[in-house]
Amino acid sequence: MTETCDFRPDFPTNVAEEGKVRLVVPKLEAFIKSPSEYAPSKAPVFYNPIMELNRDIAVLALQAYQRTIGHDLTVCEPLAGCGVMGIRFAAEVEGVRNVVMGDINENASRLAELNIHMNNLGENVSIHNEEANFLLSQHSAPHKRFDVVNIDPFGSPVPYLDSAIRALRNNGLLAVTATDMAPLCGVHPKACLRKYGGRPLRTEYCHELAVRLLVGCLAATAARHDIGINVLFSHSTDHYARVYATICYGAKKADESIGRMGYVLHCFNCLHRETTKRIFLVESEGICCECGAKMTVAGPLWLDMLADKAFCDALEKETEQKLLKRGERIGKILALVRSEIGAQTTYYVVDELCHKLGSPVPSVKKVAKALEDAGFEACFTHFDPLGVRTDASASKMKEILRGILSTNG
């Protein structure tokens, strides 16, 4: 039987198709007055079509997680907007028993309700016109918690992390998006330290540092509740960072997570970098072992792996089975993330090194081959098409680049 909803938006709308669902969404072009304006934030209900890739990967991740734990899922989407993410979870992920959505914006909650009924999901999906932390806190007691909580805000997820963690069952999955990349990438370092509790750096590998700062903040927040985390998958794509992690109850697990955090030291003079778990003040700086210049510190942040091999394998399997519009691009991202597991923390960007040398820029594939021929590890990174992870030092990288350029010459 087709379900009905009496809500009729009093603002311009379109019907969008995404994955297996159809949705009424704001007609974004009707709400901007100049090309520089960010349309989703101007609309009466938030909807960002550019984030469809993020939602595609989220569907794959929930399916992989569901198959791993082997039972039906209860899911919370406390920042629903038009409801696209929660509705897709219910429609496309096998084994999703119930999705609880919420939004403080009345227009958003009513539009989400319309979209729930439009897709005949009223028995599996509910929407509440409530603030996100309030909704999550109602599910913080045992036997009320969720298997999955998805935090996908416009901006920083930090205000919702505490409530999200408390609303998760043991071994539950927390999916977190951060779109405030300017603080995380070092453009606004004070804002990053204030929100995420770590110092960023404006380096060529700042997007990796952004993900590590986000995971570090998540680990520190969970540890306050005697909860540890286990990162299953993460990526930085387009204008955002995304992390999928399960939580593990217990003080020992929390201590183990905190033990995986530390600092990245970077030399802006010669591009040498190193990591340390030694505890010291963020503002204290060491001396570069390669050139003697003063090094700058990023952190505290997550130093352990940013993805799990078995989960990446599961994601790749789901990608092959689900016919997604962006499946080819997702496959490339997954393959790169998988190849980075176990590789060195941080990567070199070829054009940045060549800028230091004042030389032309060879292809990243040629650089990777030269590194392997010299006996070093080398793999590409999803963070940057010109990036390469290697155990070679900055000075050795420059030496190999000079060798490539002299051979070409």
Residues 375 and 240 in one domain: no
Please report the pLDDT score of residue 2 as a whole number. Answer: 42
Read off the CATH number of the domain in which 237 is found: 3.40.50.150
Tell me the backbone φ, ψ of residue 198, rounded to 5 degrees.
-140, 155
Expressed as residue numbers, the domain containing 361 is 348-409
For residue 217 the two structure tokens come to: 């903040």
Residues 290 and 369 in one domain: no
Whether 6 is in a domain gets the answer: no
Residues 144 and 257 in one domain: yes
Whether 342 is in a domain gets the answer: no
Residues 356 and 281 in one domain: no
Residues 106 and 203 in one domain: yes
Number of domains the chain contains: 2
Q: What sign results for the dihedral spanned by CA atoms 303, 307, 310, 311? A: positive
Please report the pLDDT score of residue 1 as a whole number. Answer: 33
| Short-list 56, 127, 68, CA closest to 92 | 56
Residues 298 and 352 in one domain: no
Higher pLDDT, 255 or 282: 255
Q: How far apart are CA 193 and CA 179, in angstroms?
A: 16
Whether 391 is in a domain gets the answer: yes
Residues 59 and 120 in one domain: yes
Percentage with pLDDT > 70 across the chain:
97
Whether 255 is in a domain gets the answer: yes
Contact 283, 208 (CB under 8 A): no
Residues 100 and 192 in one domain: yes
Beta strands in 199-295 (DSSP E): 227-237, 240-249, 261-266, 273-276
Q: How far apart are CA 265 and CA 285, in angstroms?
A: 8
Whether 194 is in a domain gets the answer: yes
Residues 372 and 248 in one domain: no
**CA R_g for the chain:** 22
The torsion region of residue 342 among left (phi > 0), alpha (psi -120 to 50) and beta comes to left
Residues 162 and 230 in one domain: yes
Residues 217-248: tens digit of each pLDDT? 999 999 999 999 999 999 999 899 999 999 99
Q: Is the pLDDT of residue 364 over 50?
A: yes
Whether 172 is in a domain gets the answer: yes
Whether 318 is in a domain gets the answer: no
Residues 382 and 290 in one domain: no
Whether 67 is in a domain gets the answer: yes
Strands 168-178 vs 273-276: parallel, antiparallel or unpaired: unpaired
Please report the pLDDT score of residue 37 as a whole number. Answer: 74
Residues 281 and 379 in one domain: no
Query: Can you tell me the mean pLDDT for 211-217?
Result: 98
Read off the CATH number of the domain in which 394 is found: 3.30.56.70
Amino acid at 383: F
Q: Is the pLDDT of residue 285 over 80?
A: no
Q: Is the pLDDT of residue 25 over 50?
A: yes
Residues 298-328: tens digit of each pLDDT? 999 999 999 999 999 999 999 998 878 888 9
Question: Picking from 206-220, 286-300, 377-391, which range would have the lowest pLDDT averaged per residue?
Answer: 286-300
